[in-house]
Structure 1
Amino acid sequence: MTARLRRSLGVFDAVVIGLGAMVGAGIFVALGPATGAAGTSAGLLTALGIAAVVAYCNAMASARLAALYPESGGTYVYGRERLGPFWGYLAGWAFTVGKTASCAAMALTVGTYLWPERAHAVAVAAVVALTAVNYRGVQKSALLARVIVAGVLAVLAAVVAASFAGAPGGRSVLAGEVSPGGVLQAAGLLFFAFAGYARIATLGEEVRDPARTIPRAVPLALGLALGVYALVAVAVLVTLGPLALAHSPAPLADAVRAADASWLVPVVTVGAAVAALGSLLSLILGVSRTTLAMARDGYLPGALAVVHPRFGVPHRAELAVGAVVAVAAATADVRGAIGFSSFGVLAYYGIANASAWTLGPRHRALAVLGLAGCATLAAALPLGSVLAGAGVLAAGVVAYAVSRGRPGRPRP
C-alpha cells in the first residue's frame, strides 16, 4: 500500500503558506517588470486587476477540485481524474518546470538583496537550507511560514506609511495612456505573483478536513494578497512614478529613499530577503508534492514516491527538487525566469479550468472565463518566454509518449 502523508494543517496554516508564496514573489520581484510592460500607472493597476480576476477563476477551480480530490499533486491529479492521464501529466509537467524557474527566481532575489556580489552563491545556500527545513516535516514549514509572513507584512506596512507620508505632492497614479497589449503582458507577468495559492491545493493530502479547509483557505489567501499588492503598488507609484519603478532593481527601497525615509532601507532589504525565503519555502513544498504524485503514477522514477517513516514527508522528492533548483539558481537570471514561469503556470491553470468545467453547468461560466484568461495572458507574454515555454511543453509531450511506450508504463 502507498504511504500517505500526515494531515496536520488547518485553515490558518494553509492560508499562511499560500500568502507567504504570493507576497514574496509579487511585491519584490514582479512589480518592476510589470510596470515596464504596462508603461503607465493606470496600466499597472489595470493589469493588477486583470491578473486578480484570472487568479480568482483559477482559485475557485482549484478549490472545488481539491475538495473532491484531496491528494498531493494539485492539477496533476484533477486533470488526470477529470480529463484523462495525458492532461494530468501535462499539468504536472508544466507546474514542475514553471515552478522550478520560480524557485530559482526567489532564491536569486535573496542573494541580490543580501549580497549582490555573491548573489548566486547565496541563492544556492538558501535552497539548501530550506530544503532541509522541508525535510523535517510540513508542520515545521508551516510554522516558519507564519513567522515569515508576519515579518514581511510589518515591513510592507512601514513602506506604505513612509511612502504616503513623504510622496511628492500632485502626482496622480492614474495619469497616462493605457496600451492594451502592454497591460495584458503586465498582467501575465503579475500572474506570477498570484500563483502562490497553488501551494494550498498541492498540499491537499496534508490538510485536515480538505472539503472544508481548502475552499475557505484559497480565496482568503488570494484576497489578502490582492489587498497587499494594490496598497503597495499605489504607494510606490505615488512616490516613484511608473518610469522610475520600471527601471528600479529594488523599487521598495528606492521608494522609501524618495520619501526621505532612508533609515528604512536596511529594514526593506531584510524584508525582501525574508519574503523571498518564505516564497521559496512554499514553492519547494509544492513542487516536491507534485513530483511525489507523478512518481506514484510512474511518470517519474518510483524512488521519488517514498514517504519518510518519521517525518511523514516525500523526502526523496524534496531532495531531488532541491538539487535541480540549486543548479538553476546557480545559473539563471531573475527577470528572465518570471516570464518562463508565468507561461508554465498559466498552462497548468488552463488545465485546472478545463477540469473544473467537467464538474457541471453551475461551474462552467467561471471555468470558461478562467481558461480564456489563461490563454490570453500566456499569449501576451514576451515572445522569448512564449517560445521557451512552448518548447518545454513540447518536450514534455515527447517524454510522455516515450514513457507510454516502455514496458511497465504508467497507468492508462
Structure 2
Amino acid sequence: MSEPSAAGGGPDALRRRLGLTDAVVIGMGSMIGAGIFAALAPAAAAAGPALLLGLALAAVVAYCNATSSARLAARYPASGGTYLYGRERLGDFWGFLAGWGFVVGKTASCAAMALTVGSYVRPDQAHLVAVAAVVALTAVNYAGVHKSALLTRVVVAVVLAVLAAVVVAALLSGRAEAARLHPGPGLSFGGVLQAAGLLFFAFAGYARIATLGEEVREPARTIPRAITLSLGITLAVYAAVALTVLAVLDADRLADAAAPLSDAARAAGAGGLAPVVRAGAAVAALGSLLALVLGVSRTVLAMARDRHLPHALAAVHPRHRVPHRAELAVGAVVAVVVMTADVRDAIGFSSFGVLVYYAVANASAWTLTPEEGRPHRLVPAVGLAGCLALAFALPPSSVVAGAAVLAVGAAIHGARRTTAARRR
C-alpha cells in the first residue's frame, strides 16, 4: 500500500487549527440538526413505533462506520475522507466512487438543510431564504475553518437547550404514554430497515471530522476520539427525543407532522414552546448546513488535487488557508439545487449516496493490517453488510436515483481513464 497521502507543509496545505472539542462540535453540529428536525417523520411513516428499532439499527451501522473511519483517518490524516481511503486501499476507481457518492449525496443534504431553514423562518419564501442561508454560510466557511467551528459551537449549544426544553416539558406534562412506544403486531422488518436507512442520514455527520483530517491537531489521536464522542452524545440525544415525541404523539401523527417537535410541544400543553422550537429548528439546520458545506468542499478539494474534478478547485486561499474555490463552487451548486428540491426526497437520495460511501470505508478498513490499527474484523464486516442492506431498503425512488447518479460517476471515471490512456 502507498504511504499516507497529504498535502504536507507546501503552499497548498491547510492549517491545523482544530482541537478535540472543535472536532466533536463540528460532528455534532452536522448530525443533530439533520436527524431531529428532518428524519423522524419519514422514519415513522416507514416503520411506525418501530422507528426506535430502526434508530438502534442505524446506530449499530453508524458505530461500525465510525470505527472504520476513525482507524483510516488516523492512518491517512489528510482531506478527502473515504475518497482518500478508498483510493489508497482499494484503488483509484473505488476512491472516486466514494468521493462522487459523498459529494452528490451531501449536496442533496445541503439542499435539505437549507430548505428546512427556509420552511421554519419564512414558509412563504422558503426557497429564497434557503438560498440566502447558503450564501451566508459559504461566506463564513470562506473566512476560515476556525470561525466555522466557533459558530458551530454556538449552534450546538442552542439546539441542545431547545431539545432539552421539549423533552422536559413533555415528560412533566403527564400526557406521555408508554403504550404508544409498542410496535404492535404489524411490525415489518422491511419497514424497520427503511426507517434505519432514513435515520442513518442523521448519523452521517461524523464524516465531517474525517474530511477535516488535514486541519485537526494531532489527527491520529484527535480524530478517533472526536468521532466516538460525537456519535455517542448524538445517539443519546436522538434516543431521548424520539422516545419523548413518540410517547406524546402516536406514530401516525408523527409520520404526518411537518414539524414533529413543535407538534409534540403543543400536544404536551406547552404551546408557548412552539416558536422556540421553530427557532431552534432553523438554528439546527443552519449548523448542519455549515458543517455539510465544510465537509463537501474538502472532498472536492481532494478530488481536484487528483484531477478527478477540475484542478482549479484545488486552490487554497493564501491568507485564510481554506479551499476557497471549492467552497464557492459547492455553495453555488447547492443554491441552484434548493430552488427545486424536496426535503423528504433529498433525505432518501442523500442516504443512498452516503451509505455507498461508508460501504467503501468499511471495505477499506478491512484491508488494514494489525500494525496499521485494523479494527476487529467483525466491525468492517458488519458495517459493509449493514450499509448495503440499508441502502437498498430505502424507498425505490431513492434507490433508482442514487444508482443512476453513481452510474454517471462511474461512466465519467471510465471516460477520463480512456482519454488519459490515449494521450500516453
Q: Where on the TM-score scale, by shorter chain, does this alignment land: which range?
A: over 0.9
Asked if the contact 1:79–1:91 (Cα under 8 Å) also holds between the matched residues in 2, the reply is yes
Structure 1: distance between partners of 2:43 and 2:360: 25
Deviating more after overlay: 307-316 vs 359-368: 359-368
Q: Secondary structure of 1:263's partner?
A: helix
1:166 Cα deviation from its structure 2 partner:
1.7
Check whether the contact 2:57–2:196 (CA below 8 A) recurs between aligned residues: yes
**Alpha-carbon contact 2:170-2:176 (below 8 Å) kept:** no
Q: Normalising by structure 1, what TM-score?
A: 0.97
The Cα offsets for residues 166-221 of structure 1, whole Å up to 9 and x where unpaired, read as: 24254421252321000000000000000000000000000000000001000100
Alpha-carbon separation, structure 2, partners of 1:134 and 1:100: 16
C-alpha contact 1:24 1:275 (8 A) present in aligned 2: yes
Instruction: Note if 1:3 corresponds to 2:12.
Output: yes
Q: How far is 1:407 from its partner?
A: 4.2
- In structure 2, the partner of 1:382 is 395
| 3-state SS, counterpart of residue 9 of structure 1 | coil
Q: Is residue 148–residue 290 contact of structure 2 (8 Å, CA) maintained in 1?
A: yes
Q: Which amino acid aligns with 1:370?
A: G
Q: CA deviation at 1:410?
A: 12
What CA deviation, in whole Å up to 9, does each residue of 1:46-66 have, x standing for no partner?
000000000000000000000
The change in CA–CA distance for 1:275 and 1:225 in structure 2 (over 3 A counts) is: same
Distance 1:187 1:103 in 2: 20
Give the one of 224, 234, 239 matched to 1:225: 234
1:254 equivalent in alignment to 2:267: no
Is 1:109 matched up with 2:116? Answer: yes
| Counterpart Cα distance in 2 of 1:103 and 1:218 | 21
The 1:170/1:33 distance shift into structure 2, 3 A limit, reads: closer
What is the match of residue 401 of structure 1?
414
Q: In 2, are the aligned partners of 1:134 and 1:318 still within 8 Å (CA)?
A: yes
Cα separation, 1, equivalents of 2:354 and 2:341 = 18
Distance in 1 separating the partners of 2:423 and 2:350: 27
Change (3 A) 1:166 1:302: same
Correspondence 1:360 to 2:369: yes
Task: Supply the AA of the counterpart residue of 1:243.
Answer: D
Q: Which residue type is aligned with residue 67 of structure 2? A: M
Does the aligned pair in 1 maintain the 2:19–2:217 contact within 8 Å?
yes
Measured against aligned partners, the alpha-carbon deviations of 1:275-298 in whole angstroms (never above 9, x if no partner) come to 000000000000000000000001
Q: Work out which of the residue numbers 130, 133, 138 in structure 2 matches 1:131.
A: 138
Task: Please point out which of 165, 176, 179 is paired with 2:184.
Answer: 176
Identical-residue share of aligned pairs (%)? 69
Q: Residue in 1 aligned with 2:93? A: 86
For 1:199, the aligned partner's letter is R
- Mark the CA change 1:408 to 1:303 in structure 2 (over 3 Å): closer, same or farther: farther
Cα contact 1:21–1:196 (8 A) shared by 2: yes
List 4+ stretches of structure 1 deviating above 4 A.
407-411
Whole-angstrom distance in 1 between the partners of 2:11 and 2:417? 22
The answer to whether residue 320 in structure 2 is matched with residue 311 in structure 1 is yes
Please list, as runs of the form range in 1=range in 2, the aligned pairs for 1:40-119 lying within 5 A after superposition.
Answer: 41=49, 43-119=50-126
What is the 5 A alignment of 1:287-302?
287-302=296-311
Q: Which position in structure 1 is the counterpart of 2:288?
A: 279
Question: 2:183 & 2:133 partners in 1: Cα distance?
Answer: 40
Helix, strand or coil: the match of 1:330?
A: coil
Q: 1:357 to 1:118 in 2, by over 3 A?
A: same
* 1:244 equivalenced with 2:253 (yes/no): yes
What are structure 2's unaligned runs of at least 5 residues? 1-9
How far residue 403 of structure 1 moved from its aligned partner, in angstroms, is 1.4
The one-letter amino acid of 2:57's match is: I
Amino acid at match of 2:76: Y
Offset from partner CA, 1:77-97 (integer Å, 9 cap, x none): 000000011110000000000
With structure 2 as the length reference, what TM-score do the two structures score? 0.95
Give 1:161-240 correspondences, 5 Å limit. 161-168=168-175, 170-172=177-179, 173-177=181-185, 178-240=187-249
Q: CA deviation at 1:344?
A: 0.0
Cα distance in 1 for residues equivalent to 2:51 and 2:60:
14
Q: Separation in 1 of the partners of 2:234 and 2:257?
A: 22
**Displacement after TM superposition at 1:409 (Å):** 9.4
Q: Tell me how far 1:405 sits from its aligned partner.
A: 2.4
Q: Distance in 1 between matches of 2:405 and 2:176?
A: 48
1:324 aligns with 2:333: yes
Q: Distance in 2 between matches of 1:33 and 1:236?
A: 14
Give CA-to-partner distance per residue, 1:324-351, whole Å, 9 cap, x none.
0000111100001000000000000000
- Name the amino acid aligned to 2:352: F
- Deviation per CA, 1:211-262: give whole Å up to 9, x if none: 0000100010000000000000011111111110010000000000011111
Q: Deviations over 1:294-318 (max 9, x none)?
A: 0000111111000000000000000
Q: What is the CA distance between 1:406 and its match in structure 2? A: 2.7
RMSD: 1.4
